[in-house]
Chains A and B, each alone.
Chain A
Amino acid sequence: MPVSRSNEAAATSGGGHAAPVRAPRRRALRFRGDLAIAIVVLMPSIVAVAIFIYFFIAYTFYVSVVKWPTLLPDYTFVGLKNWINMFQDMRFRIDMRNLALYALGFMTQCIVIGFLLASLLDQKIKSEAVFRTIFIFPFAVSGIVTGVVWRWLMYPSAGLNQLFGLVGLDFLKSKWYTDPTWGILAVTIASAWQFSGYVMALYLAGLRGISHELKEAAAIDGANTWQLYRRIIIPLLAPVTFTAVVLTGMGSIRVFDIPAVLGTGAAFSTDALAFHMFQLTFQSNKMSSGAVIASVMIILAGFLVGPYLASLQLEESQ
């Protein structure tokens, strides 16, 4: 690899003065020895990642194709029976629908609000730091705390509905998370409250990376604000949008805390895959059924890991 070669080169040029023949070789050997030390030091982490991530993923898939219906392990192979049962399960189907709605609502809110706020903050705003601090701080707050507070904010007879009533905006009143069909979208309001500031921070960093000359050149060419954003800024921020999509997509697949606070809702309208998996595995002891959902979550995450790693590889090679 390039680095070890440059080590030897450095050793040769550095040792050239004192002991022309022997020192370079001794150094070169020593650096190869140091590289071996590096690999040995890295080894515990490699083993930990190999076991706790890769082996565990494989094991979860394995559990999903064995019997194991109770707390006591039963490794009788049953093929795809658990999977077929799960895909016919009503709650699982609702979970998949909820995931689609959640991802749509959560990603849209985070990206639109994040981009909007970043663009506004980039307009040489007084006390920008204060606004930035306020927008990002919910990211420091846990999902449980977010869930507890928003449960009361979206409580049908209190919270936001009461506030809307006080200021005469009754048409905004909603059933929020108690809505038997669209409850999951109310959950995304709470989670976007928590996460949109993070997306704002990503976009703001991206905007700060766009040179002023470029914007001025566009202005001289007669571009209006809309054209500037449409033709220059949004395309240049595509990598940020990609990152935001991956992060919010991950957040959608693994969402657990807020549904855990709100409960599954009427007809599972605020249920999530992660919460269903938890209840099956650790409350009903249906290990193999839980493993099916866990495997589905891993597969879904895989759809995001692939493009992300590809983009990273592209970046490294440039």
Chain B
Amino acid sequence: MTFQRAWSRGAIYFVLIAFAAWYLMPIYLMLITGMKTFDQVNIATMWALPRGISLDGFSQAWVKVAPNFKNSIMITVPAAVISAFIGSINGYIFAKWKFRGSNTLFMLFLVGMFLPYQGILIPLVQTLMALGLYGSIVGVIFVHCIFGIPITALMFRSYFAGIPNELVDAAKIDGCGFFGIYRWILLPIAFPAFAVVLIWQFTTIWNDYLIGLVVVSNPRLAPVNVAVQNLAGTYYTQWQVQMSGALIAALPTIIVYLALGKFFMRGLLAGSLKG
């Protein structure tokens, strides 16, 4: 019995470790490739460890993607902050100021999460052109804020719904109005919700490719994932540059995930569409 148990425990760990290796393999490959000198980079010895540490691949890729990396920061940070703020207000209203039809309205908002962006790209580009936002970083921020409305409203609504109505009612009796309740009662305790939403939006917007590609036609203004894809096209044979560029593009979100995993996990569950 104990032998059998030890065997099954061993099997469980074997499967878990095998999958861990599978999930880590691409990162391993990106790291060792980036650390090789140019003369070591050979597709036939792809899996071989680098002889010594060189940063040739990274530095060459960095020169190519640095301006776009900066664009991504300029896009992602404001867009995440603005959409989190909008989401906190909308979530507050949907959770605490229910009116006739507000639940139906909320459902209509949620439909936006299912929308494949291709479904709205043609009028979107026309509208951005009419507004003078097409081709600019402000335009990309604007689009991310709009399409962040459904998911951020969902996340904040779930969080605020968990806060007792008695608290809100007590504040009303003490003379707080619509803004007072938000400012003095909900905002001070909303830190975890803001962390979850900011991380979620940061990750989503940083990792976006389609909106960046369509809204900004000038490659110098494009976000980093567009640049990485362009690297893959123009440096087709120098695959170590592609790999290093990909790792650079992936680092910010990986760091956020490792540092703030708890909030990231909560975002995963909240983002799983359960209201």
Question: Which of B15, B115, B118 counts the most A-chain CB atoms under 10 A from its CB?
Answer: B118
Considering the complex, give the chain B residue whose CB is closest to the CB of A275.
Answer: B118
Q: In the docked arrangement, what's the CA distance between A117 and B89, Å?
A: 38
Q: Is the interface of A mostly helix, strand, loop or mixed?
A: helix
Interface bin, chain A: 35 or more
Contact A60 B47 (CB under 8 A): no
Task: Give a binary string over A31-50; 1 marks a CB under 8 Å from any B CB, 0 the rest.
Answer: 10111011101100110110
Complex interface: chain B residues within 8 A of A131 (CB): 16, 20
Considering the complex, give the chain B residue whose CB is closest to the CB of A68.
Answer: B122
Contact A10 B169 (CB under 8 A): yes
Considering the complex, give the chain A residue whose CB is closest to the CB of B33.
Answer: A152
CB distance from B15 to the nearest CB of A (A): 6
A141 within 8 A of B: yes
Contacting B250 at CB < 8 Å: which of A34, A55, A142, A305?
Answer: A142
Complex interface: chain B residues within 8 A of A309 (CB): 107, 110-111
Given contacts A38-B178, A155-B43, A162-B47, contact A1 B102 (CB under 8 A): yes
CB distance from A239 to the nearest CB of B (A): 8
Complex interface: chain B residues within 8 A of A10 (CB): 169, 172-173
Q: In the docked arrangement, what's the CA distance between A285 and B147, Å?
A: 25
A94 within 8 A of B: no
Complex interface: chain A residues within 8 A of B257 (CB): 136-137, 140
CB within 8 Å of B: which A132-156 residues: 133-153, 155
Q: In the docked arrangement, what's the CA distance between A56 and B127, Å?
A: 10
Contact B23 A193 (CB under 8 A): yes
CB within 8 Å of A: which B118-132 residues: 118-124, 127
Contact A274 B116 (CB under 8 A): yes
Complex interface: chain A residues within 8 A of B105 (CB): 46
CB within 8 Å of B: which A289-318 residues: 290-291, 293-295, 297-298, 301, 304-305, 308-309, 312-313, 315-316
Contact A120 B16 (CB under 8 A): yes
Contact B243 A152 (CB under 8 A): yes
Considering the complex, give the chain B residue whose CB is closest to the CB of A258.
Answer: B209
CB within 8 Å of A: which B192-239 residues: 203, 206-210, 213-214, 225-226, 228-229, 232, 239
Complex interface: chain B residues within 8 A of A57 (CB): 115, 119-120
CB distance from B102 to the nearest CB of A (A): 7
Contact B118 A274 (CB under 8 A): yes
Complex interface: chain A residues within 8 A of B29 (CB): 149, 152-153
Given contacts A38-B93, A134-B23, contact A278 B146 (CB under 8 A): no
Complex interface: chain B residues within 8 A of A293 (CB): 118
Contacting A49 at CB < 8 Å: which of B23, B109, B119, B258?
Answer: B109
B253 within 8 A of A: yes
B55 within 8 A of A: no
Considering the complex, give the chain B residue whose CB is closest to the CB of A146.
Answer: B26
B67 within 8 A of A: no
Contact A144 B122 (CB under 8 A): no
A261 within 8 A of B: yes
CB distance from B57 to the nearest CB of A (A): 13
Given contacts A38-B99, A117-B16, contact A49 B115 (CB under 8 A): no
Considering the complex, give the chain B residue whose CB is closest to the CB of A198.
Answer: B268
Contact B47 A166 (CB under 8 A): yes
Contact A247 B273 (CB under 8 A): yes
Question: Which of B43, B206, B214 counts the most A-chain CB atoms under 10 A from its CB?
Answer: B43
Question: Which of B206, B228, B256 counts the most A-chain CB atoms under 10 A from its CB?
Answer: B228
Q: In the docked arrangement, what's the CA distance between A100 and B225, Å?
A: 27
Complex interface: chain B residues within 8 A of A52 (CB): 120, 124, 127, 146-147
User: 6 A-B Cβ contacts within 8 A?
Assistant: A6-B165, A41-B93, A140-B254, A243-B274, A298-B115, A308-B114
Query: Given A135-B19, A274-B210, A312-B110, list of 14 further CB < 8 A pairs?
Result: A4-B98, A14-B172, A34-B178, A37-B178, A45-B149, A53-B120, A60-B123, A133-B261, A137-B254, A144-B207, A145-B225, A148-B246, A193-B23, A274-B116
Q: Which 8 A-B pairs have CB atoms at the shortest separation, nearest pair first?
A: A142-B207, A38-B97, A56-B120, A14-B173, A140-B257, A254-B116, A149-B26, A298-B119
